[in-house]
Chains A and B, each alone.
Chain A
């Protein structure tokens, strides 16, 4: 054990500082990605959906992809970048988010969605399984920043009507609209 440790130490002392920095950076990114995922909690209630019943594999896919969509949206609106929107969003939802990012970038604003908790209810699943409507009661900490200045920091609860459609390998958010109540 001690020999291995000693060997390890002697080896690490010969590694270039840039390699160590790259390793730390990769570890940091991995940790960041996991942390971002863990802050988005999603539960789906599909008891009252119809006319088609949701298969359990579909249910798992929707939860996974909806969580991914919010993780990506949060990243896009925090860092004003469009790349995270390419996978999980399509149609009107993608267009609106792109507009939001462009608008934020222009005005120097950013939004942070922290500690998210989404309670989803599937209210409609089309007979052919090609569209699902969800009601999301979303609770999160919303922060708005003007440059680095925090101008809003509030715990909010919002209601979203969401349309998701399947693509080749995932469910995509096609439409997302906040409403005052369901």
Chain B
């Protein structure tokens, strides 16, 4: 009977001590900060910390605070703290991203024709120094400039760690500077703007001993930008014997071709979907 009473007493003491063991954590921590977990109870216990990039086990004294070092809490996410003596107790907490220190900025395309609607877009992601996505709303300033002229300027509030823009390309061929900035942090990208389709395509020609030499006037787009060298221009000669076609690339702003028609001919010109003027050349004298 006496032994039974002792057993019951021991069991009660153990139960009481088990109930009093617990662990509690702060609701949230900023990445890279230290944190303290409090424990209750007495004796020794195994402590486990599990989170993104970390899984560790250590021996701790119950009733004393557990210090979590900054290096253990660099990665934003959910953490699980487990304390095991006779039974296991758990506490969860979140590590949130710190202040943004870098911007990932993706801009499309790398090369774009001028004056094209919704042709240039950019997406910016703010990250903290530990590569955590900064989800707190921050304002990202987007600035687009061509030469010294501002083409586009907008302050965008990042939502869910993302700020973005989309706009029409500029009027002038050349480098388009695209900048995303948060306070004193900025990232620059460059989009090459090139001439659009040719506009007012015009040709002139003259008969030579070998046939007809035709050439375009300097080829520009509708904004006056010289169309890139290498752009193909198609010359078509129609005479009594039929139709002949020559493709020639623009070189130094002008495309040239030698046609072989010996009788009177009509010569037309086109580049892509753009048609130019027609030229009538008389028969060889």
Indicate whether B52 reaches chain A with its CB closer than 8 angstroms: yes
Q: Which of A126, A175, A179 contacts B121 (CB 8 A)?
A: A126
A103–B78 CB distance below 8 A: no
Chain B, 73-106, contact with A by CB distance < 8 Å: what is the 0/1 string? 0011110101010001010001011000000001
A130–B55 CB distance below 8 A: no
Q: Which of A92, A99, A106, A146 contacts B48 (CB 8 A)?
A: A146
Indicate whether A26 reaches chain B with its CB closer than 8 angstroms: no
Indicate whether A28 reaches chain B with its CB closer than 8 angstroms: no
Q: Which of A126, A135, A163 contacts B164 (CB 8 A)?
A: A126
Question: Which of B131-139, B218-226, B233-241 contacts the other chain?
Answer: B131-139
B57–A152 CB distance below 8 A: no
Complex: how many Å from CA A179 to CA B118? 34
- Min C-beta distance of A18 to chain B, whole Å: 38
Given A133-B162, A177-B133, are A128 and B121 also a contact pair (CB < 8 Å)? yes
A130–B53 CB distance below 8 A: no
In the complex, residue of chain B having the shortest beta-carbon distance to the beta carbon of A150: B88
Complex: how many Å from CA A146 to CA B97? 29
A179–B94 CB distance below 8 A: yes
* Residues of B close to A51: CB separation below 8 A: 164, 166
A interface, over-half SS: strand
Q: Which of A103, A128, A175, A180 contacts B133 (CB 8 A)?
A: A175
B55–A92 CB distance below 8 A: no
Complex: how many Å from CA A100 to CA B52? 6
B135–A109 CB distance below 8 A: no
- Min C-beta distance of A162 to chain B, whole Å: 10
A107–B106 CB distance below 8 A: no
Indicate whether B161 reaches chain A with its CB closer than 8 angstroms: yes
A109–B48 CB distance below 8 A: yes
Chain A, 69-108, contact with B by CB distance < 8 Å: what is the 0/1 string? 0000000000000000000000010011001100110111
* Residues of B close to A178: CB separation below 8 A: 52, 76-78, 94
- Min C-beta distance of B90 to chain A, whole Å: 6
Question: Using a CB-CB cutoff of 8 Å, which residues 122-172 of chain B contact chain A?
Answer: 123, 125, 131-133, 135, 159-162, 164, 166
B46–A146 CB distance below 8 A: yes
A177–B76 CB distance below 8 A: yes
A154–B90 CB distance below 8 A: yes
A144–B162 CB distance below 8 A: no
A152–B160 CB distance below 8 A: no
* Residues of A close to B88: CB separation below 8 A: 151-152
Indicate whether B251 reaches chain A with its CB closer than 8 angstroms: no
Q: Which of A99, A109, A126, A175 contacts B123 (CB 8 A)?
A: A126
Indicate whether B108 reaches chain A with its CB closer than 8 angstroms: yes
Complex: how many Å from CA A108 to CA B57? 9
Indicate whether A118 reaches chain B with its CB closer than 8 angstroms: no
* Residues of A close to B161: CB separation below 8 A: 133, 161
B55–A103 CB distance below 8 A: yes
Indicate whether B28 reaches chain A with its CB closer than 8 angstroms: yes
Indicate whether B56 reaches chain A with its CB closer than 8 angstroms: yes
Given A109-B48, A111-B50, A128-B121, are A161 and B160 also a contact pair (CB < 8 Å)? yes
- Min C-beta distance of A107 to chain B, whole Å: 5
* Residues of B close to A130: CB separation below 8 A: 106, 108
In the complex, residue of chain A having the shortest beta-carbon distance to the beta carbon of B84: A151
A100–B131 CB distance below 8 A: no
Indicate whether B13 reaches chain A with its CB closer than 8 angstroms: no
A-B contact pairs, 30 of them (CB 8 A): A95-B53, A96-B53, A96-B75, A99-B53, A100-B54, A100-B55, A103-B54, A107-B57, A111-B55, A124-B162, A126-B106, A127-B108, A128-B108, A128-B109, A130-B106, A135-B160, A144-B82, A151-B84, A152-B82, A158-B78, A161-B133, A161-B160, A163-B125, A177-B76, A177-B135, A178-B78, A178-B94, A179-B76, A180-B27, A182-B160
Given contacts A103-B53, A151-B84, list 19 more A-B pairs with CB under 8 A: A96-B52, A99-B54, A100-B52, A107-B55, A108-B57, A111-B50, A124-B160, A126-B106, A135-B160, A146-B46, A146-B48, A161-B133, A163-B133, A177-B52, A177-B133, A179-B94, A179-B96, A180-B28, A180-B94
